[in-house]
Structure 1
Amino acid sequence: MDLSGWRIAGIQHIRPFCGEDEGTNTALEFAYGSLSLPQPPATPDAPLAAACAAWSGAPDDGVDRISSLPDEILRNVVSRLPGCRENPLWRPGLVDTLGLTNDVSDILAAHPGPFRCVQITCCYLDMNREKIKGWPKLVADKGVQELAFINRPWPLDLPLPTTLFSCTSLTRLHIGAWKLPNTATLPDAVAFPHLQELFLTLITMKDKDLAFLLERSPVLEVLTIIASQRDVRLCLASRSLRCLQLGMSSLGDITVADAPRLERFFLLMTRRIGGNKFSTIKIGNAPNLRMLGYWPPGQHELQIGNTIMEVSPCTIIPSVKILALQVQFEVRNEVKTVPAFLKCFPNVETLHIQSVKVNRPTGKVSLNFWQEACPVECLQHVKKLVMHGFRGNKSEHAFIKFIAERAQALKKMVIMICFDTANGFDAKMKPFTTIKWASEDIKAIHFKLPPL
């Protein structure tokens, strides 16, 4: 039985990491979680071919037609069958890591292939480095297409085996809690000619090594960097990239120099270098950019062409249809930058606003502020507003009321409530009853309560 599509998980359930900070724990949970690990391309519920043939009225003559298929097709079919990922052998509460390393090595060596999806996670990969160096080569020789290779994570700067660069058949790669090798020492021919998706979590890397990975991935479509152990600096020139995601990292200057196919650019809980120096994010040639978010006003400078938008909000980006902003509504100086952003994206149809909690409020804004600072042209195409993290303060209400009374194309408004509904719910909801809707298409506000 082919075991492609399996997971090697020495410890399945994540326990607290003593000595690690909260940000690292969050990144680890994300790395090991189902959101970042692709599901193996198999299902135990798929009907067998013989059952399908019987159901379709094919003759039931007992002939084994499947075995007569060409070997190439049979290998493709078998590589999609579910393996032993539910076997309790791979889910112990405690594990003999050295023994597990030996077992994995033996299985990978004995397996005839092909491998379609292999996920090696939650193992202490520092225990037997020499054997572990051979794992990428073993799966490479058997045509692995999707690989997740994640350290446990101690130590966080464990050198990534250079044998990984022999996996030239990869289409998806997720590596976590490794230190990238000095790419200058790798052979000139090293490349990932088929790689479409690259996911880097808790990686220690130099700028030149990240640039090397991108340069050697000519058809890369999705790049995700989460919780980089060093500041992320990037100068991107890619004819294939469609989605760029940067999260839980300190950002240096990010330049999207030439990305004609880029459609989505996401930031998630990013911060400035050293906590005080502005990072500049420049977008040069990205004519197909459709989605931008979650942009944190006051944290980075956004430069489109030669124009810094916070300073001169005259640049128009007509391609963006979905815009997401993080806003501290009780920090007046930050809120004052929001209209400048809205003016630059006149064709936005879906607007997401993440309301960020403020420990020390420094001022509020009223409905008059929005009416004076943000002309109605900014909202002429907005059809949907989603407010995340709504706490019911006056500044949030002022913004929502402004959108509702100016956006004539608005069809849907969703408010994600982020407070205890047993405490002052009626008072926080009362301002919604005074809204005078500009749109005739909207019928109601959709409220979503926090989970119990």
Structure 2
Amino acid sequence: MDTGVPAFSMNPVMAEIFRQLGLDPDQVGGFFARSLSHTHHALPDPPVTADARLFALLPDDPVDRVSRLPDALLGNIVSCLPVKDGARTAALSRRWRGVWRSAPLVLVDSHVHPAGTAYAQGVASAVSRVLAAHPGPFRCVHLTESPLLAAWLQIVAGKGVQELTLVHHPWPLEIFLPSTFFLGMETLTRLYLGLGLCDVVMKTGDLDFILDRSPVLETLSLEGEMLERCLGLVSQSLRRVQIIGCSVGEIFVVDAPCLERLIQSGGWCPEDTDGNCTKVKIGHAPRLHMLGYLELDPRNVLEVGNTVIKAGTRVSPRTMVPSVGVMALEVRFGVRNDAKMVPSVPRCFPNIETLHIKSAKTDRSTGKLNLKFWHECGVIEFVRSRIKLLVFHDFRGGRGELAFLKYFCETASVLKKVVILFADGFASTEEAQSKLSSLGSVKRASETSTVLVTVPSDPQVGSIRSFKIGSGFSADDPFANY
């Protein structure tokens, strides 16, 4: 699907505000358009496409065989059409009029804007007409091409929807969701919110209210939100949670018996905080299989049960999550205290078989980490007897990175494969591979293990920031990017 976003037409008041700030309104509008194009690319594709051509009859067959099908089957056909084509079926005959009104439609705003009118105005007008004309329910509502209108959200809530994707454009800067928006969301199974390009702050109780009113919700994806204090996950249906580029003080998995994936990436801290970023607390999540990225620096905290995990924390049944099989960690190998956390955190997840390590950039160094440092950590049991696949992301050739890789290969006795992905910045493949030349002389604990050295795949396709990959089940491991 086309993810290009046209430049925004800014009203004179907003344009003047940006001029007073010393900014060119046209450049600001272009920045927002480029940012939204990236957001649109990360979104899941709607279940219908407007590219296919619709034919009522076969060229050599004058008999209308489709109209003879049962109403239920006709309704399924109409619900698989773009909304404009679905509405056109009402003109075929008197019988088809009722079929369109009873079919659960897919409403994608980019499919309905009329040619020859102002872009945003045309989309808003067309969406309003469809929402008013159809009684619901909606199989999918995908609103990404125009400013969100509270009236739309109220109608969607009242008529019922299974999959809802909302991306707010920056004008107007403020959006107020109606208080009754999620009262009618008993049918909602997937929710994608991308509101990060405007001043949207979700209070602690907002998402609690959403989860409480959505008893069959399976997927929750958030991008660019500012979440006050704690995001508490209490849901009997949630299976996938993806939090991308959000400011959130705490992610607390309180009671989520069906949760399988908890993915977090690109979190940030408001300037007025005390320096702490995100606390991840795991309560009741017996099916949790994939977890990451956990950033191993003092500003980010991991708590299992009621125990804060620190370097040297003793493992007990209360501090273990045995269901996790895939984990992703972000480590600053130039910071000694961060590296000390590497042995401690995975010990709380004793059945990890796939470990992703992302080497984070740092402007400071607090000591060189050599091979001796890792050996002094003692025997790391999960490395020795559990890990079968290690994927090292953003390798830059640092001494601390190489020491960790050597230690891993020397001690991981069941290791089958190591994948090393280069970071940007190497002048050539030869330069990057030369940084790993010393790794070839290491005596591996697992003689059958292999090492793959490569560059990441297309970040737009393989990035963990993609809702298509992170919140779906099309890929066994959404952290893999090679």
Q: What is the CA-CA distance between 1:73 and the residue it aligns to?
A: 1.6
Aligned counterpart for 2:214 among listed residues 213, 217, 222: 217
**Partner SS, residue 326 of structure 1:** strand
Is the contact between residue 136 and residue 163 of structure 1 (CA under 8 Å) also seen in structure 2?
no
**Partner SS, residue 253 of structure 2:** strand
Q: What is the CA-CA distance between 1:88 and the residue it aligns to?
A: 9.6
**Partner SS, residue 438 of structure 1:** coil
Select between 102-111 and 71-80 the one with higher mean Cα deviation. 102-111
Q: Which residue of 2 aligns with 1:440?
A: 447
Gaps of 5+ in 2: 9-24, 85-107, 460-482
TM-score (norm 1): 0.77
| 1:118 correspondence with 2:137 | no
Q: C-alpha separation between the residues in 1 aligned to 2:178 and 2:249? A: 27
Q: Which residue of 2 aligns with 1:199?
A: 192
Q: Which residue of 1 aligns with 2:438?
A: 431
Q: C-alpha separation between the residues in 1 aligned to 2:408 and 2:420? A: 13
Q: What is the CA-CA distance between 1:146 and the residue it aligns to?
A: 3.0
Q: Which residue of 2 aligns with 1:342?
A: 346
The AA in structure 2 aligned to 1:416 is: L
The AA in structure 2 aligned to 1:356 is: A
**Partner SS, residue 166 of structure 2:** strand
Q: Which residue of 2 aligns with 1:281?
A: 280
Deviations 1:54-110 (A, max 9, x none): xxxxxx987543211122220211120246679998498993544543344335445
Deviations 1:271-323 (A, max 9, x none): 45615136433212122221111000123221111221116241333221101
Q: Which residue of 1 aligns with 2:310?
A: 310
Is the contact between residue 313 and residue 344 of structure 1 (CA under 8 Å) also seen in structure 2?
no
Is the contact between residue 336 and residue 367 of structure 2 (CA under 8 Å) also seen in structure 1?
yes
Gaps of 5+ in 1: 1-5, 52-59, 126-131, 166-189
TM-score (norm 2): 0.72
Change (3 A) 1:40 1:300: same
Give the aligned length. Answer: 406
Matched-pair identity in %: 39
Q: What is the CA-CA distance between 1:231 and the residue it aligns to?
A: 3.0
Q: Which residue of 1 aligns with 2:292?
A: 293
Q: Which residue of 2 aligns with 1:325?
A: 329
Q: C-alpha separation between the residues in 2 aligned to 1:106 and 1:252? A: 41
Change (3 A) 1:76 1:163: farther
Q: C-alpha separation between the residues in 2 aligned to 1:12 and 1:215? A: 34
Q: Which residue of 2 aligns with 1:420?
A: 426
Change (3 A) 1:116 1:67: same
Q: Which residue of 2 aligns with 1:354?
A: 358
Deviations 1:109-163 (A, max 9, x none): 45687753332223245xxxxxx44434555677643333332122332112457
Change (3 A) 1:162 1:386: same
Q: What is the CA-CA distance between 1:338 and the residue it aligns to?
A: 1.3
Residues 160-309 of structure 1: matches in 2 within 5 Å?
A: 160-161=177-178, 164-165=181-182, 190-201=183-194, 202=196, 203-271=200-268, 274=273, 276-277=275-276, 279-298=278-297, 299-309=299-309
Deviations 1:373-411 (A, max 9, x none): 152412112111111111111111111111111112111
Change (3 A) 1:43 1:96: closer
Q: C-alpha separation between the residues in 2 aligned to 1:247 and 1:214? A: 18
Select between 419-428 and 284-293 the one with higher mean Cα deviation. 419-428
The AA in structure 1 aligned to 2:152 is: W
The AA in structure 1 aligned to 2:176 is: P
Q: What is the CA-CA distance between 1:363 and the residue it aligns to?
A: 2.2
Residues 91-102 of structure 1: matches in 2 within 5 Å?
A: 95=118, 97-102=120-125
Aligned counterpart for 1:393 among listed residues 385, 390, 398: 398
The AA in structure 1 aligned to 2:295 is: P
Is the contact between residue 113 and residue 126 of structure 2 (CA under 8 Å) also seen in structure 1?
no
**Partner SS, residue 267 of structure 1:** strand
Change (3 A) 1:250 1:449: closer
Is the contact between residue 109 and residue 123 of structure 2 (CA under 8 Å) also seen in structure 1?
no
| 1:149 correspondence with 2:170 | no
The AA in structure 1 aligned to 2:400 is: S
Is the contact between residue 262 and residue 289 of structure 1 (CA under 8 Å) also seen in structure 2?
yes
Is the contact between residue 279 and residue 301 of structure 1 (CA under 8 Å) also seen in structure 2?
yes
Is the contact between residue 44 and residue 82 of structure 1 (CA under 8 Å) also seen in structure 2?
no
Q: Provide the aligned C-alpha RMSD in A.
A: 3.8
Is the contact between residue 227 and residue 249 of structure 2 (CA under 8 Å) also seen in structure 1?
no
**Partner SS, residue 365 of structure 2:** coil
Q: What is the CA-CA distance between 1:43 and the residue it aligns to?
A: 7.9
| 1:73 correspondence with 2:73 | yes
Change (3 A) 1:266 1:113: closer
Deviations 1:227-256 (A, max 9, x none): 213435122222222222223222223322
Q: C-alpha separation between the residues in 2 aligned to 1:158 and 1:409? A: 53
Is the contact between residue 27 and residue 226 of structure 1 (CA under 8 Å) also seen in structure 2?
no
| 1:378 correspondence with 2:377 | no
The AA in structure 2 aligned to 1:153 is: P
Change (3 A) 1:99 1:307: closer
Q: Which residue of 1 aligns with 2:5?
A: 12
Deviations 1:339-387 (A, max 9, x none): 1113222321100011111222232211121122152412112111111
Q: Which residue of 2 aligns with 1:177?
A: none
